[in-house]
Amino acid sequence: MKTLFIYIITACLFLVSCNELELENPNSLNQGNFYRTEDDAILAVNAAYSALQKRGGPGGVFTWYANILRSGESVRTANTPAPVAALGDFSGGLSGSTNLLFIYRHVYDGVYRCNAVLTFVAAMDNLNEDLKTRMMGEAYFLRGLYHFHLTTMFGDVPYVDRLAEDDEDFQIPATPRTEILQRIAGDLRAAKDRLPSVTEYRGTDELGRASRGAATALLGKVYLYAGQYQQAADQFREVYESSEYMLNADYRENFIEAGDNNMESIFEVQFENTPGRPWGQDGDNPQASEGNIFTRFTGASGSDTNPIPYWYNMQPSEQTVNEYEADDPRKNATLFYPGGTATILTTEGVELNYDSLSIEDYAWRKFIPEQAYTGDPLNSPINMDIIRYADVLLMYAEALNEISGPSAALPLINEVRTRVNMPGYPTPGFPASSPDDVFRIIVHERRVELACEAIFWNDLVRWDNAGKLDMATYVNNPSFNINFHKVLPIPEPELSTNLAMEPNENPG
């Protein structure tokens, strides 16, 4: 799947209103003449995936920075550019930010492409029916994922499920978040009915596309966010009982190139290293790199004599470092820290440890290649996880804890613990006699198991909304205001263009 992401058809997926031109160049692509062959349909579906890679997309560097910095998992360094820091430091003045606009527009670009597939590919009558069914499932899945991303980032946003036909169709009021979640669930149910199992993809070039298991897992997550615990548990049970996924024996392997699309992966954003192409991660420039630039933004710099050309724009917070229990191997797999044994190779193959790195206190190791890549840009081929099996086990445990209490939840949590040879719960530091005890365990496990995966911020928001905890104690930032900082502000250019939209609770 890594080689299937394409970025060439934005120009041909423009609005139907463009057909008002009196003359049409027969050699140019447009909606009227593009959707003719099976290859055209496949290109259209691949284009819907490409928004995942963009800087503001679900796998994009600005999305991950916003969530990891806001959650208190990470803090800025002396190297952090102000526009990047503004995504996560609650300092205000963000609504006019170009980086914020990327997050909003890049994802709606993905929504638009899904709607194009669901309109034009659906109308094609010369396709293999099984392939057509799969492509419809992929579009429903991606449309649901993109809207889930939008509502977790911005709260109430327009839910867009059709192509615009005239200028008035661009004036769309925000849909309440509760309704968005239910509409996402509808898209994901439609995807489940159409997508093949991941087993059918394994061993083929199609591995990495949306599967029935991915739609089921994401549907469970949506129900969990909506507080519908039984419905969530039902979906997670399907994934669990499918036996199509398992925990990878080596936790660290989930975050290096060798572990891309492994048995623990349920859905991840695909990247590949393309040295010599211009820096980008915008997906639509045919010359842009399809590499993962999170590495370059986040990786630790080397020593003066053995440099590693990463920018070290954020570092793990002391809270994150201290959350790990003694002897938890996930700490060494995730972080560079004093006393840790993690190493990294320079481009020349020189091995550096913590003491040899140019860092302030700590550095992230997760998603950083074992050896620095050469060339310009230094874009990594390591995929970014959207949802993996360990995440599903912990969410399944959370749902069951709400329904049935500790006895149902603990075995699932302990599967995650056993994988890294940590003792099962209860432990001396974590009793497990009540649902509240188990919830505390779940918070801890999600912090250490899923650290630096852009998940914990959304966990904090939903738990705070449900009255389960006070997220301010985790965010640990005096500028954080619980009344409006749970969402990012709607970008000012969008409010100027879509007059039916109103600012959300975050004034910017």
CATH number at residue 188: 1.25.40.390
CA distance 364 to 219: 30
Q: Could you tell me if 159 and 52 lie in one domain?
A: yes
Q: Could you tell me if 6 and 147 lie in one domain?
A: yes
Mean pLDDT of 164-175: 89
Mean pLDDT of 310-328: 95
Mean pLDDT of 440-463: 98
CA distance 370 to 357: 14
6 closest CA partner among 53, 50, 56: 50
- For the entire predicted model, the pTM comes to 0.93
Dihedral sign of CA atoms 315, 318, 320, 325 in order: positive
- Give pLDDT, residue 22: 36
Q: What is the pLDDT of residues 82-110, one digit of tens each?
A: 999 999 999 888 999 999 999 999 999 99
Kindly state the DSSP code that residue 196 receives in the 8-state scheme: P
Mean pLDDT of 39-62: 94
Rounded to 5 degrees, φ, ψ at 268 are -145, 155
Mean pLDDT of 296-318: 89
How many domains does the chain contain in total? 2
Q: How confident is the model at residue 304 (pLDDT cuts 50, 70, 90)?
A: confident
240 closest CA partner among 466, 10, 20, 395: 395
List the single range of 236-245, 286-295, 338-347 with lowest mean pLDDT: 286-295
Q: How confident is the model at residue 283 (pLDDT cuts 50, 70, 90)?
A: low
| Beta strand pairing call for 74-76 and 344-345 | unpaired
Q: Could you tell me if 71 and 191 lie in one domain?
A: yes
245 close to 216: Cβ distance less than 8 angstroms: no
Q: Environment class of residue 20 by beta-carbon count within 10 Å: exposed (0-12), middle (13-18) or buried (19+)?
A: exposed
pLDDT beyond 60 at 23: no
CA distances (Å), origin 98, targets 30, 84, 87, 348, 389: 29, 10, 10, 36, 34
Q: Could you tell me if 322 and 181 lie in one domain?
A: no
Residue 44 lies in a domain: yes
Question: What is the helix (H) or strand (E) element at residue 351, kind and residue range?
Answer: strand 351-352
Domain final position from 382, 399, 426: 382
Coil, strand or helix: which one is 28?
coil
CA distances (Å), origin 229, targets 21, 185, 393, 401, 407: 52, 14, 14, 9, 16
Residue 411 lies in a domain: no
Q: How confident is the model at residue 379 (pLDDT cuts 50, 70, 90)?
A: confident
Residue 178 lies in a domain: yes
- Give pLDDT, residue 30: 59
Q: Could you tell me if 305 and 188 lie in one domain?
A: no
Q: What is the pLDDT of residues 389-446, one digit of tens each?
A: 999 999 999 999 999 999 999 999 999 999 999 999 999 999 999 999 999 999 999 9
CA distance 292 to 300: 16
Q: Could you tell me if 177 and 319 lie in one domain?
A: no
Q: Could you tell me if 305 and 165 lie in one domain?
A: no
Percent of the chain with pLDDT over 90: 78
Tell me: cis bond preceding 377? Omega within 30 of 0 counts. Answer: yes
Residue 356 lies in a domain: yes
- Give pLDDT, residue 284: 60
Residue 453 lies in a domain: no
CA distance 386 to 409: 23
List the single range of 227-236, 301-310, 392-401 with lowest mean pLDDT: 301-310
Residue 279 lies in a domain: no
pLDDT beyond 60 at 14: no
- Give pLDDT, residue 296: 86
Looking at per-residue pLDDT, the higher value among 18 and 199 belongs to: 199
- Give pLDDT, residue 168: 84
Q: Could you tell me if 166 and 306 lie in one domain?
A: no
Q: What is the pLDDT of residues 114-155, one digit of tens each?
A: 999 999 999 999 999 999 999 999 999 999 999 999 999 999
Tell me: cis bond preceding 426? Omega within 30 of 0 counts. Answer: yes
- Give pLDDT, residue 285: 64
CA distance 167 to 418: 56
pLDDT beyond 70 at 468: yes
- Give pLDDT, residue 32: 61
Q: How confident is the model at residue 1 (pLDDT cuts 50, 70, 90)?
A: low
pLDDT beyond 60 at 11: no
Mean pLDDT of 258-267: 98
- Give pLDDT, residue 233: 98
Domain final position from 382, 400, 431: 382
62 close to 55: Cβ distance less than 8 angstroms: yes
CA distances (Å), origin 60, targets 280, 393, 447: 11, 25, 21
Residue 67 lies in a domain: yes
- pLDDT, mean over the chain: 90
Beta bridge partners of 388: 265
Residue 83 lies in a domain: yes
Enclosing domain of residue 141: 2-20+28-195+487-497
Mean pLDDT of 255-281: 85
- Give pLDDT, residue 507: 83
CA distance 454 to 452: 6
Q: Could you tell me if 191 and 306 lie in one domain?
A: no
pLDDT beyond 60 at 9: no
Dihedral sign of CA atoms 257, 261, 262, 265 in order: positive
Mean pLDDT of 450-457: 98
Q: Could you tell me if 172 and 62 lie in one domain?
A: yes
CA distances (Å), origin 183, targets 119, 218, 266, 328, 419: 18, 13, 22, 40, 36
Kindly state the DSSP code that residue 372 receives in the 8-state scheme: P
Domain final position from 382, 414, 434: 382
CA distance 414 to 62: 33
Q: Environment class of residue 401 by beta-carbon count within 10 Å: exposed (0-12), middle (13-18) or buried (19+)?
A: buried
List the single range of 1-5, 140-144, 477-481 with lowest mean pLDDT: 1-5
pLDDT beyond 60 at 281: no
pLDDT beyond 70 at 301: yes
